[in-house]
Amino acid sequence: MSSEKIIADWKQKKFKPVYWLEGEEPFFIDEVINYAEHKILNESEASFNLSVFYGKDADWVNVVNACMGYPMFGERKVVLLKEAQQMKDIEKLENYIVKPLSSTVFVVSYKDKKLDARTKFSKAVKQNGELLSTKKIYENQLPEWTSEMVSSFGLSINHNALLLLVDHIGNDLSRLKNEVEKISINLNKRKTITEDDIENYVGISKEFNVFELQDAISQKNLPKAIRIIQYFQSNPKAAPLQLTLPTLYTYFSKIYTVAALNDHSENTFKPYFYNNPFAAKQALTAVKNYGFGGAEKILLLLHEYNLKGIGINGAISGADSELLKELSVKIISSL
């Protein structure tokens, strides 16, 4: 079951006695826990019927006793066990999980790991509780996930703004949502998030970023590439080498793929670039300028400079911008 489905059920007053939230992505777990803590019960009900425990300090007896208590002045109790992965003797909750009280909603947050499916305790959880097992969102899934999250605010986001936001923040889903929420407050009556909004409210330059560098390299525009890198040099947090090189590598991996296709047209390329016409045209330019062999050499250069960036193969200490300049010159002037 997904976090969205659990919360949707709760909004309709559909409750199960036990919810077990586990896995690698804390965002989805926190979404459910926060709703359970602040929305299932109103303020007056919560003062009598909400109990919150933390695994490191919780005793299993106290947790079970809280779960077994009947609600006062309300229909149900809510018992939350946060950071349950740190709790000693957590398996001793098994007897309660097997026979839970129907008037209690017991929600367990078990972050960064999963129960061993072979154990009796794990089987008891799966048979008697509602299980949410989370996984990290892969980088190639982030644009789609972020676009859907933006839609949940009743907004849309243009392609360049989406890529700026995702590239800058990365896989921190909580921060992505917080930034979109902050932007939404400042849009007034507008419904589309643009690059200007990302620049104004998130602090990412729409002119000097890794995607503009990517475009400059695609066009073999060395002066533009150097200007962008000089901006990076003056603003080290704008595009750290450890984020810039993987982004370029991902892009030129796609160029390498599409360059091998028989049909070099915008419509053929669009599915590889989020169905975005602008990105497909940029890819066409890159393929014309470098071809399949050039794209392959670019990937080898990016790998080489990634190693240099972490101190292997003669890196220039403390000079990310110098490495980027050297790399850009080699790509644009030599291929």
The domain segmentation of the chain, as residue ranges, is 3-134, 139-201, 210-334
The CATH number of domain 210-334, selected from 2.30.110.10, 3.40.50.720, 3.20.20.70, 1.20.272.10: 1.20.272.10
What are the two backbone dihedrals, phi and then psi, of residue 106, each rounded to the nearest 5 degrees?
A: -105, 115
Tokens of 283: 């890819």
Residue with tokens 């305790």: 121
Q: What percent of the chain has pLDDT over 70?
A: 98
What whole-number distance in Å separates Cα of residue 181 and Cα of residue 192? 13
Question: What pLDDT, in 10s, does the model give residues 26-83?
Answer: 999 999 999 999 999 999 999 999 999 999 999 999 999 999 999 999 999 999 999 9
What whole-number distance in Å separates Cα of residue 293 and Cα of residue 95? 63
Domains 3-134 and 139-201 share a fold: no
Q: Report CA 228 to chain centroid distance, whole Å.
A: 26
Q: Quick check: 318 pLDDT over 80?
A: no
Q: Quick check: 199 pLDDT over 70?
A: yes
Percent helix, strand, coil in the chain (nearest 5)?
60, 10, 30
Q: What class does CATH assign to 139-201?
A: mainly alpha
Cα-Cα-Cα-Cα dihedral of 196, 150, 109, 42, to 10°?
110
Model-level pTM?
0.73
Q: How many CB atoms lie within 10 A of CB 311?
A: 9
Question: What pLDDT, in 10s, does the model give residues 107-147?
Answer: 999 999 899 889 999 999 999 999 999 999 887 788 899 99
Q: What class does CATH assign to 3-134?
A: alpha beta
